[in-house]
Amino acid sequence: MQNPDEDRAWQAIRTQRLAVADLLESLNAGEWRHPSLCEGWSVHDVAAHLTLQQLSLLDGLAMFARAPGGMNRVIREAARRQAARTPPEDIVARIRTSAESRRHNVGVTHRETLIDALVHGQDITRPLGRVLPIAADAGAIAADRVWSKGWPFHPRRRLAGLRLAATDAEWAAGAGPEVRGSLGDLLLVLTGRGAAAVGDLDGDGVPELRRRVSLATSPG
């Protein structure tokens, strides 16, 4: 029997993939080449990464063989290779086609797939000055999962002593001076992209968050 929470996550993934495909279709060549929020990744690279969300164990092993040196490097190089061989119109078509699929990469769940869809959409749009809304219910599912995990974002360690509180849903985590904002902005904070959101946040904890963000490296 289908888990209702899982079904909601997959519905949110479908919605987000179609929205990302629509947005990508509207970009010009310069915007495809524009740097994303991920250091060293272009918008094209991030979009290509979103076509690599249904990999098998063999696919994963082949990626490691091509680019040894740790998970982050493996993921980055796989995205760059995909971008180099896949023109924008084909990437848009692949993302749109994948919207109906409920397959996910080996070793992760639907929750990580939702995180990827939501956060990478912001990686693309924020540097371009574009807007891609994040539904509060989808953001809450993703934020809960990020907060509960360690690798790769380690939010409980990075954000220790601060309380994050959503202004568009009943979601909060942590303890200390409060950082308030939409779940979309808080999701960027949770995943190490706080520099892109801190200007839109409010609360007594924002000065400390800004200090930590200024010392942090960009996510990959």
Condensed to tens digits (0 to 9), the pLDDT of residues 135-159 reads 999 999 999 999 999 889 999 999 9
Residue 101 has pLDDT above 80, yes or no: yes
Residue 60 has pLDDT above 80, yes or no: no
Residue 63 confidence (pLDDT) above 90: no
* Mean pLDDT of the 121-143 span: 96
Rounded to whole angstroms, what are the CA distances from 20 to 67, 96, 153, 186, 198?
28, 8, 23, 20, 23
Q: Please report which confidence band the pLDDT of residue 76 belongs to, taking 50, 70 and 90 as the band edges.
A: confident
Which residue type sits at 129? Answer: G
**Res 121: pLDDT:** 97
Read off the pLDDT of each residue in 58-82 and give the average, rounded to a whole number: 73
More confident residue, 214 or 26: 26
Apex 53 CA angle, 77 and 85, nearest 5: 45
Write out the two tokens for 75: 């993921």
Query: What's the predicted TM-score (pTM) here?
Result: 0.90
Helix (H) or strand (E) holding 49: helix 43-49
- Segment 122-128 mean pLDDT: 97
CA distances from residue 205 to 30, 163, 164 in whole angstroms, order as listed = 37, 8, 9
Percent of all residues in the chain with a pLDDT value above 90, rounded to a whole number: 78
